[in-house]
Amino acid sequence: MERTLIIIKPDGVRRKLVDKIVQRYERAGLKVITLKKMKATPQLLKKHYSAHVGKEFYKALEKFMSSEVVAFVLEGNNAVKQARAITGATDPSKAERGTVRGDFGIDSAEKADKEKRAIENLVHASGTKEEAEKEIGLWFPGLKK
Ligand code: CDP
Ligand code: MG
């Protein structure tokens, strides 16, 4: 069994897509271990997105991610890879049909770039097992392993 972290970003929360998005992962057999609605601090976001701090889009990303989000941990076989496949490509305008970003996404990287803001792509999903472990520790520090 493997675990991964999903965050429904502020655009998903605002558009009331939380239940629909959670179901996408559950219907693939992944189990929600814990879930909470919260606002992330700048410090948490800097740790979470440590690989992106300093990049040209980071400030916009931090601003975008500072509104209410829904974070949850999924458990299942190959949870990290499965969840990434269900999530889809970073740019919603290029994400495959059948993925969360492809089906519910209305933004594009090009538009976001022009407007100097973060790409609004509904969800974060951990990229690797190592990232998942780090991220679960950050967002759910009290969770039993
Ligand atoms: O989320 P994912 O792993 O697919 O993409 P990433 O390359 O790790 O980037 C993290 C997040 O930063 C993305 O999901 C976007 O919300 C945002 N981003 C952005 O706003 N502009 C970019 N040029 C690249 C990423
Ligand atoms: Mg990433």
Q: What's the gap between Cα 61 and its chain centre?
A: 12
Indicate if the pLDDT at residue 145 is higher than 90.
Answer: no
Catalytic residues: 124
Residues 30, 82 contacting (CB under 8 angstroms): yes
Residue linked to tokens 């519910």: 104
Compute the average pLDDT of residues 120-124. Answer: 99
* Ligand 1 contacts CB of residue 41 (under 6 A): no
**Residue 95 Cβ contacting ligand 1 at under 6 Å:** no
d(CA 91, CA 75): 26
Q: How far is CA 53 from the centre of its chain?
A: 17
Is the pLDDT at 131 greater than 90? The verdict is yes
**Ligand 1 within 6 A of 61 CB?**
yes
Q: What is the pTM of this model?
A: 0.98
In what side-by-side order are the strands of the sheet with 31-38?
31-38, 69-76, 2-8, 123-125
* Average confidence score pLDDT of the chain: 98
